[in-house]
Structures are given as structure tokens and as C-alpha cells.
Amino acid sequence: MWKDVSAPYSKFESWFYDSYIAPAMVPFLDQLQEELGIDLPEKGFLLDVGCGGGQILGEIAEKFPLANLFGADLSEEQVERANHRLASYKGRVQIRQGSALNLPFPADKFDLVLSNGSIKHWPDQGLGLSECVRVLKPGGRLLIIEADRGCRQSDVDRLFAHSRIPSLFRPLFRTLFLLKVSGPSLDMDDTRELAGNLALAEWSVSRIKNLPGWVLDGIK
Ligand SMILES: C[S@@+](CC[C@H](N)C(=O)[O-])C[C@H]1O[C@@H](n2cnc3c(N)ncnc32)[C@H](O)[C@@H]1O
């Protein structure tokens, strides 16, 4: 992944992301839920595309105890981690190995399709987004969250302040984030251009408060 941004995460990358980076996002989930007004029907269907080790799905499973939760990820290592982490929710959480470019789900299935930090890896981002829209029910909601190529350094520092990375190493990780994570990602204008081609009734792209990222928020 460090050499080729669209290659599947290796065992080491999966472990590193799951241990040090994903936990830094979790404290922001309440803020995001409030800011974005994220909700689901009681027994609604949600898909997390590029779900990684399933930390976000785990939080969602606690908040929406009757919802049917699905995850898809390209990396077998990440699927294994997510299955292990979410084993106690068996029956209402299912993780599948698969690509965002060819989602292993029928059309019009989900009330909410969510993706955090994954679209920068998709080799055809327009195709991946149109797959996310295909599997959404009419009226369903799309939330794509990603590192912003035009992010502020202070927002990167705020993200790492919540990570398990020792403070001595954080300047190094800030540089790596800017070079290897936000650098190869999309900025808000790129995302608006892609969103304009989707079969969405309404959409917006905005910066997320206190995080080095943007959100594409749409309704099918
Ligand atoms: C930065 S991690 C984010 C993981 C998780 N969403 C989170 O926030 O903790 C990006 C994830 O996207 C997955 N990914 C990369 N390319 C993908 C693709 N084409 N289709 C589906 N998942 C992909 C990777 O395997 C990785 O687990």
C-alpha cells in the first residue's frame, strides 16, 4: 500500500492501521454523528465500504442495537480482523471480502452507505461511488469521509493527539500523513466533480470540523 495506494493492505499495514490509526478516529464518531445527524431506521441496513478492522462498525453496532450491519473490504487481513472483532454481534453483522468497484450486494438494499478513509485507495473512484449509490435504497443516505489533500496541519495534529502514537514520534507521523495519506487523496473540488456525476437527488461536500478530512453527504 505504501508503494501502490490501490494495493490491498498487507498483514503489517492492517495491524498498524488497526492498532494506531483507527483508534484515533473513534473519539470523533460522536462528533460526526451529531454534526452529520447520522441516523438509521430501527432495523435498518447499513454498509461500511472499506471497513478495515471493523472498529467503526463496532461503535455503530452499540449505538443501533437492532440494525443490520454489513462491511466490505478488499484486504483479507482486514476482513479477518473485522470478523474477529465483531464476533459477538454474529447474526446482525456480516463482513465480506470484496472491492468497492464491484460491491457484493444487490441494488437498493441499504438505508445508509458509509465509507471512512477508503476512497483514496480505489483505482476508479467514480465507479466505486456509483457502486455505493447502486446498493443504496431510493432515499437512502451516502456518507463518504476521506483525508483532504488540502487539509490544515493543525487538524492533522488534532487527529494524532487522539492516537496511541507516542508524542515524540507525532511530528514524523504528521509528515507521513501529509505525504502518504492526504497527499495521494482527493481534495474537496475533486470530490465535487465526482459527486456531480452520481445518481443522487442531493449532495454536498464539506470540511469536517477539527479533522483533516471532508465528507460527501448525499441522498439517492
Ligand atoms: C485507511 S483504511 C480505513 C479503514 C476503516 N474504514 C476505518 O476507518 O477504520 C482503508 C481501508 O480501505 C480498504 N480498501 C482499499 N481499497 C479498497 C477497495 N478497492 N475496495 C474496498 N476496500 C478497499 C483497505 O483494505 C483498508 O482496510
Structural domain boundaries, residue 210: 11-219
> What cell does 58 get?
463496532
- Residue 154, domain CATH: 3.40.50.150
Mutate to test the pocket of ligand 1, among 73, 79, 145, 215 (most ligand atoms within 8 A of CB): 73
Q: Which amino acid is at 140?
A: G
Tell me, yes or no, whether 1 lies in a domain.
Answer: no
pLDDT at 187: 96
Using the structure block, give the residue that is written with the C-alpha cell 453496532.
61
Tell me, yes or no, whether 6 lies in a domain.
Answer: no
Within 6 Å (CB) of ligand 1, which residues are found?
Answer: 8-9, 17, 22, 25, 50-52, 55-56, 72-75, 78, 99-101, 116-118, 121-122
Tell me, yes or no, whether 166 lies in a domain.
Answer: yes
Mutate to test the pocket of ligand 1, among 74, 77, 113, 145 (most ligand atoms within 8 A of CB): 74
pLDDT at 2: 56
Tell me, yes or no, whether 135 lies in a domain.
Answer: yes
> What cell does 143 get?
456518507
- pLDDT beneath 70: ranges in the chain: 1-3
pLDDT at 3: 63
Strand 202-207 versus strand 136-147 pairing type:
unpaired
Ligand 1 centroid vs 79 CA: distance in angstroms? 10
Q: How many contiguous H segments (helices) and E segments (strands) does the chain have?
A: 9, 7
Tell me, yes or no, whether 112 lies in a domain.
Answer: yes
Domain count, the chain: 1
Q: How far apart are CA 126 and CA 143, in angstroms?
A: 15
Tell me, yes or no, whether 192 lies in a domain.
Answer: yes
pLDDT digits (tens, 9 = 90+) for 9-20: 888 888 888 887
pLDDT digits (tens, 9 = 90+) for 51-85: 999 999 999 999 999 999 999 999 999 999 999 99
Going by alpha carbons, the residue nearest to atom 10 of ligand 1 is 118
pLDDT at 116: 95
